[in-house]
């Protein structure tokens, strides 16, 4: 299974994303923002965290027009799996692949700490190895992670089970205190209507090895492997 990680000028979690994807069993390809083609047979793409283009103008606003983004958008529209982590989530919102926007944290501070996430949907390519309602401990590190969208978009995300991760306390309760940035409805991660594009502010790639203190984030990668394996087995059967 092939996975590509895009490096934009200012990306700083690209190496971590490549490392953990390889641990999960992917054949990993480093992709460059100026690339105008994707490797043949690519199964998934990660837009990693960082500060692409220095966060100038708005987070993700310039990266969204990088040459490779035309390929990423076409790949996603064709059903390809695309994951945006932190700055990658911001880029996905700017590009229109995901609804809403990520704005300055409510307390105006850069927040860098472990948070608890409740897995809200487990029948997705990104969470199928998680037990329903399970709680993951994963770090956040961002200054602009307050998820916002119009009331009708929020309503649709909630009604259609597209809120994938929600900030909760250690017991799984949705509280204002557990919300690190003021995101509407404590939203930490969402998927698109087709279920192939996912964005999340927390960093699963920073919590995927026991030696680093926590491996909860690995479930995102193992879910992806499980989903793609199942899909490929089904394709072979046809």
Partner 1 sequence: MKQYVAHVTVTLRRSILDVQGKTVEHALHSLHMPALKDVRIGKHIELHVAAPDKDRATELVDDACRKLLANPVMEDYSIEIRELADTGVPA
With CB under 8 A as the contact rule, the residue among 36, 37, 40, 108 that binds partner 1 is: 108
| CA proximity to 196, closest of 96, 68, 77, 104 | 77
Q: Return the number of the residue (101 or 141) whose C-beta is nearest partner 1.
A: 101
Active site residue 155: no
205 binds partner 1 per the rule CB under 8 A: no
114 binds partner 1 per the rule CB under 8 A: no
**Dist. CA 138–CA 68, nearest whole Å:** 29
Distances (CA, A) of 125 to 49, 188, 222: 20, 17, 9
- Span from 99-107, 115-123, 197-205, 214-222 in contact with partner 1 (CB under 8 A): 99-107
103 binds partner 1 per the rule CB under 8 A: yes
Structural element, H or E, at residue 69: helix 67-77
Q: Return the number of the residue (58 or 137) whose C-beta is nearest partner 1.
A: 58
| CA proximity to 85, closest of 35, 141, 132 | 141
Active site residue 93: no
Active site residue 205: yes
On the 0-12 / 13-18 / 19+ scale of CB atoms within 10 A, 118 is: buried
With CB under 8 A as the contact rule, the residue among 50, 80, 100, 199 that binds partner 1 is: 100
* Binding footprint of partner 1 on the chain (CB under 8 A): 57-58, 61, 65, 93-94, 99-101, 103-104, 106-108, 148-150, 182
Active site residues: 86, 203, 205
């Amino acid at each position: 299974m092939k996975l590509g990680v895009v490096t934009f000028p200012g990306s700083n979690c690209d190496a971590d994303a490549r490392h953990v994807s390889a641990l999960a069993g992917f054949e990993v390809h480093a992709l460059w923002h100026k690339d105008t083609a994707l490797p043949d047979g690519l199964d998934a793409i990660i837009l990693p965290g960082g500060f692409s283009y220095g966060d100038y103008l708005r987070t993700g606003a310039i990266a969204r027009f990088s040459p490779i983004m035309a390929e990423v958008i076409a790949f996603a529209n064709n059903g390809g799996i695309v994951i945006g982590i932190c700055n990658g989530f911001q880029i996905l919102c700017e590009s229109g692949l995901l609804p809403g926007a990520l704005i300055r944290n409510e307390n105006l501070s850069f927040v860098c700490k472990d948070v608890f996430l409740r897995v809200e949907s487990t029948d997705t390519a990104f969470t199928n190895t998680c037990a329903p309602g399970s709680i993951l401990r994963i770090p956040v590190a961002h200054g602009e992670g307050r998820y916002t969208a119009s009331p009708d978009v929020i309503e649709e995300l909630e009604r259609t089970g597209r809120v994938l991760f929600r900030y909760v306390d250690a017991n799984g309760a949705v509280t204002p205190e557990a919300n690190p940035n003021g995101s509407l409805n404590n939203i930490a991660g969402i998927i698109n209507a087709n279920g192939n594009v996912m964005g999340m502010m927390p960093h699963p790639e920073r919590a995927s090895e026991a030696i680093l203190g926590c491996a909860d984030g690995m479930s995102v990668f193992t879910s992806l492997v499980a989903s793609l394996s199942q899909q490929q087995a089904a394709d072979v059967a046809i």
